[in-house]
Chains A and B, each alone.
Chain A
Amino acid sequence: MSALDKILISSIKKGIVTASVDLSKIEALGLELKEMANKHFGRSFNIREMDTGSCGACEAEIIAANNPIYDVSRFGVNFVASPRHADALLVTGPVSKNMALALKKTYAAMPGPKLVITLGNCALDGGIFKGSYYTEGGVSSILPVTTHIPGCPPTPTEILRALVGLLKCFTG
């Protein structure tokens, strides 16, 4: 057993802090996610993340969904570096005017069929930044949005659950 395994196992077993996250629930969600990704996306559902003016908390939670506790990549969900490799575009932020063009270009660079997922309250309609002179008022004013993950920010578990919900839509 490597040093990391020991630490990982001890951290998870501690249960003092991790009581707020039910690991068996994550496993169950993950297996469902994996089944969907296997079935509809050839075992790999690839996501390109994009920040259009978020405060950074949404990014932190997406990164957390990739940490060893949640580790979404083991369920076939990968965050990729290029829109060319992506099945879905995961967008955060209320869309600052400065990012509108970059958002369109990133979307255009994706191969079809392509999905757009918005994450966090700002991305839905501008959220707390609604009415600002410099925001576009949400992603749907620019791109066709498939689904939305609410929260400020959504927790990694909520992100997992929302992804399961999204992929289930492809059944049938």
Chain B
Amino acid sequence: MEYQTLLEKIQNKHPSILVGANENCDDEIYIKSTPEKFNELCLALHEELHSPVMSMFAQDLESHFRVYCSFLGIKYKKWFFVTMDIAKDTPQFKSIAKEIYSANLFDREIKELFGIEPLGNPDTRRLRLHDEVWPNGFFPLRKNFVPPKETGTLGEYKFTKVEGDGIFEVPVGPVHAGIIGPGHFRFSVAGEPIINLEIRLGFTHRGIEKLMEGKTVEEALQISECVSGDASFAHSWALCHAIEKIYGLKIPERASYIRAILLELERMYNHVSDIGGIATDVGFSHPSALASIIKELIHQLNIQLTGHRFLKGVNMIGGVTKDIDENKKALLLNVLPIILRDFNELKQILSSSTSFLDRVDTTGMLKKKTAEDFGVLGVAGRASGIAIDLRKNAHPAYVGVDFSPQTAETGDVLARLNIRIQEFEQSANLIQKILGKMTPQSINEKSFSFKEGFALGYVEGWRGPVLYWININKERKIERCKIVDPSFRNWQGLSYAVIENIIPDFPLCNKSFNLSYAGTDL
């Protein structure tokens, strides 16, 4: 469907709202707006496209700030960006978070990183620059940012208070009992059931978006592999995708297929690990041991295919560095049935245990409406009935492969478990199908010319959509890189899914989402 009809429709409903729309890199539409009309336009797109705010970020241009707000138009296979310019002497804009809740976290992010005030947003607490260690008034993503000296006024984070008879708080973290990333969970409970869960993150903040600035694309590529280690392939692909779009570089089909195969392997080892983790968290160690064996097998398969257990160092601008030749193809075709056979065993063990099913069924339910409001996507979104999968809806690498997103309606731990089980098997099938489509060809395109510009790279990683918006400047360096890991929004889904569940079920709910601390904290 043509996107112009959509813009006309919006124009008719809201006269004089559109100044003009520019196409960028085939599938991006940039609509320039003014601070006065910005919210009306965003709201119109949000309603027409049924898309949450996919990403919202600011950029420090010399004379002013520019704010971008993006939506996904699945029907149109386009990404819509609304932009507005904000004067530097009045760094503020009217928040849209009350109308579109999925904009809330982005508001807070823009405030802490740029010092641009989202007027009317009741919650502008900092996400990553913790008040206890970072003084007021230092905004890292401003171009004239200078890090604070030792002294400065420090503050304190204010948790939401739930008060009443018999209500008490259980603080957990940042250091947890397991081998896992750091985060703070503040439960308010009445007896056993959870009334409110506030998740405070940012503990692994490394300042990645600032670090990216001024880097060459090759350096940026290395950093992208360390944003979220268990999704390093999805992240590096998303970065490559953005750069390749800017350069107008068409990568060989074979490279695209190899990327798809490796992305599916990444999905498989993580999904099986989570399935095992869910079993662990109900004390069912036998299947979890089996799951970890399957995971290990896939890691070792990764080594044989690419030389790295986490597929680092494979993506490059223009394609991939490692080929899947006939021997590796044979290896994959040999091993996948073995992995699937073991996986089937795992499935049998889980589905034949009524006490296990009793623990996961109806536990940690995330309603579709809540998921939509917060923009929960990926595995967690699909388990709550949101049938968005960028592989199907938008990504060129999967064109011509018969594939439909797995969805469930109940939104409980069982639904998320089932989605993972189905996707694991689906990935194995996809790999076999894609292997059959590969023809002898180069695996990377080395001749390309540098161009300045900007583009959005996107990949459906195993957790959900991984987005990289990148701007390259004349010096061939990264001017701005905005990263959105699916975990960033999905954590909010978890804090709603656990309500009315008991604290002992929290690890189970948490594992069923298994979100990235590092990917959220950047």
Contacts and interface: CB of A to CB of B under 8 A. Distances in A.
A41 B304 CA distance: 37
Contact of B516 (A56, A64, A67): A56
Given A67-B293, A97-B134, A129 B312 contact: no
A43 B310 CA distance: 33
Contacts of B208: 129, 132
A3 to B, nearest CB: 7
Among A97, A101, A106, A153, residue most surrounded by chain B Cβ atoms (within 10 Å): A97
Contact of A20 (B129, B206, B223, B300): B300
Contacts of B174: 98-99, 102
B23 to A, nearest CB: 35
Nearest to B294: A11
Nearest to A61: B309
B301 A17 contact: yes
Nearest to A60: B230
A81 B507 CA distance: 15
B299 A14 contact: no
A20, A67, A102, most chain B CB atoms within 10 A: A67
Given A4-B286, A59-B179, A134-B207, A128 B134 contact: no
B294 to A, nearest CB: 8
B179 A55 contact: no
Contact of B205 (A19, A53, A101, A127): A53
B226 A132 contact: no
Given A53-B206, A59-B181, A131 B300 contact: no
B211 A132 contact: yes
B331 A58 contact: no
Interface string A1-41: 00110011001001011111100000000000000000000
Contacts of A66: 179
A14 B296 CA distance: 13
Nearest to A134: B207
Interface string A75-114: 0000101100000000001101111111000100000000
A42 interface: no
B203 interface: yes
B399 to A, nearest CB: 30
Given A20-B304, A53-B518, A106-B175, A99 B203 contact: yes
A7 B290 contact: yes
A56 B181 contact: yes
B518 A69 contact: no
Given A14-B338, A17-B335, A53-B518, A134 B205 contact: yes
A142 interface: no
Contacts of A147: none
Contacts of A81: 177-178
A102 B134 CA distance: 15
Interface string A46-68: 00011111111111111110111
Contacts of A99: 174, 182, 203-204
B230 to A, nearest CB: 5
B229 interface: yes
B342 A54 contact: no
A104 to B, nearest CB: 11
Q: Kindly name the residue among B174, B208, B210, B304 whose own CB sees the greatest number of chain A CB atoms within 10 A.
A: B174
Contacts of B304: 17, 19-20
B310 A153 contact: yes
A67 B292 CA distance: 6
A135 interface: yes
Given A20-B304, A57-B310, A134-B205, A68 B292 contact: yes
Interface string B214-249: 000000001100111110100000000000000000
Nearest to B270: A60
Contact of A3 (B297, B338, B345): B345
Nearest to B179: A49
A143 to B, nearest CB: 14
A69 B179 contact: no
A133 interface: yes
Contact of B309 (A62, A129, A155): A155
Nearest to B180: A59
A55 B300 contact: no
A68 B207 contact: no
A59 B273 CA distance: 13
Contacts of B180: 51, 59
A128 B260 CA distance: 27
A134 B338 contact: no
A163 to B, nearest CB: 15
B119 interface: no
Contacts of B228: 55-56
A66 B293 CA distance: 11
A93 B204 contact: yes
Contacts of B434: none
A82 B177 CA distance: 7
Interface of B: 128-130, 132-134, 140, 145, 147, 174-175, 177-182, 202-208, 210-211, 222-223, 226-230, 232, 273, 286, 289-290, 292-293, 295-297, 299-301, 303-304, 309-310, 312, 331, 334-335, 338, 342, 345, 349, 516-518, 521
Given A7-B345, A64-B299, 7 more contacts: A11-B297, A17-B304, A57-B226, A69-B293, A99-B203, A134-B140, A152-B226
Interface of A: 3-4, 7-8, 11, 14, 16-21, 49-64, 66-69, 79, 81-82, 93-94, 96-102, 106, 122, 127-129, 131-135, 152-153, 155
21 contacts: A11-B297, A17-B297, A19-B300, A49-B179, A55-B229, A56-B230, A56-B516, A56-B517, A57-B226, A59-B229, A64-B295, A64-B296, A67-B292, A96-B521, A97-B134, A98-B202, A99-B203, A129-B208, A129-B211, A133-B145, A134-B206
